[in-house]
Structure formats: C-alpha cells, structure tokens
Amino acid sequence: MAEASVHIPDLSATSTVPFTEEYAGAFGFQLDLEGISELPDVWYSEELNKVYCCRCVSFPVLMNVSFPLPSGSIIRAMAVFRDPEYAGEVVTCCPHHEQLLRDSSDVDHAEHLIQVEGNEQAQYFSNLETKRHSVTVPFEEFSKSTTVWYKFMCYTSCFVNMNRRSILTIITLESPRGQVLGRRCFEVEIYPKDELPCPKFEETFTINTSSQEEKIHHLKQEEFEELGNFRIMHC
C-alpha cells in the first residue's frame, strides 16, 4: 500500500492566532459535508462553504485522506472568529448557555462551543496560554475516512462572546505528537430552531451582499485613485 512522504510544517493548531489557511498536506486531507443536506434543522451551502444549524443539533463531518495515517493520528476541531480584527479573541459559549449545560448534565466542558456527540473517545482541551478550546477524536485506525458528529452549544447572536460575529470551524488532522498534517475550515452560523433561514434565500442574499460590497470597495478605490491623479496634475 502506498504511503505518503510527510513534510510536517512547524505550525501549532492552538496558537494565539490559529492558522486558517486550507492545507491538504501530504495525506490529501479533505472534508465532506454533503451528508448534512439530509438532516432537519441544519443545512450546508457549498458555494459559501458555510453550515447553518440550530443550537445543539448535531451533524456529520466526513474526513478523508488519500494515504494511511500514522497510528494514533487525531482530528481536532476549534472555533475562531473569521474577521482578522477579532482573530485574537477566544470563542466560547455565553454564560447563560454554559450554565444550562452544567445544570442539565455532569460535564466539565460546558464552556466549549463545539462538542462531539456519540464518541466516547472525544477529549476536550483548554489551552493554558491562549485559553482556546478544542475537542479531539482519534482518526479511525487503518482507514482512509472517519466521520465525526459535531454540535454547537450557543447562538451566533448571543450578546456575550459571539455577538453576531462570523466564526470559522478549523478542523486539523494531527500526528500523535500534535504536528499538523492537514487543515480544513468552514463557516458556521447558529440559530434558534424557529429562526433558521431558508437555504435558497440566505445563500442568494449573502452572495448578492458580498458582490455589492466588492463593487462599493472597487468604486471607492477608483474614486481615491482619481482624486490622487487630480492632486498630482494640479500640484
């Protein structure tokens, strides 16, 4: 069986400002979110690479590799703010939803936004230096694919912490020593059950809004350049 020649970059999956650049790596790490479309209360926009889901509703993420992995490799999931100006802040559950989970179950990871369902091997981590939260599960041994069911425990609209700011879920494939072998990301927006938007409307609205913002930015840039040329001509 063919094995990959591994070049491992010196990147930490839980650094102060985590990397979000897509990285298939030597093992050809890929995500498949198509299984989400068959579930209620969650949907995935391939064009936007974005999951829309209700709070506490789990959905499957299929991970694939092209070559056998080192024994003991893991999958790590972590949430970060998408926009650069907030990238240094830590994403957590709001105090209200954290307390709801503590009251309803005996867990020691109630503050974690991303949680795993149906996998007893899930481990939750809080980095002592960066304060960032992550959850890991083993990549299935002797397999080129594994499926993890994730759920999100707070609303994007909660005033404390997320406060309507866009978040990315970073999925890293790591060696047993914590070296990053691959990285994939997708955006997530979490809603109350009766407020989940219509897929076609939301996708069209978001694409059109982004297009308009790009046009406005381009026009402003042209105006700035014209003003600069005017000043040069009249100096």
Instruction: Answer yes or no: are the C-beta atoms of 37 and 53 closer than 8 Å.
Output: no
Binding-site residue numbers are 94, 97, 154, 158
Instruction: Answer yes or no: are the C-beta atoms of 169 and 18 closer than 8 Å.
Output: no
Q: Which residues pair with 183 in a beta bridge?
A: 23, 172
Binding-site residue numbers for Zn(2+) are 94, 97, 154, 158
Q: Which residues pair with 210 in a beta bridge?
A: none
Cα 92 from Cα 112, distance rounded (Å): 6
Cα 187 from Cα 168, distance rounded (Å): 4
Instruction: Answer yes or no: are the C-beta atoms of 77 and 150 closer than 8 Å.
Output: yes
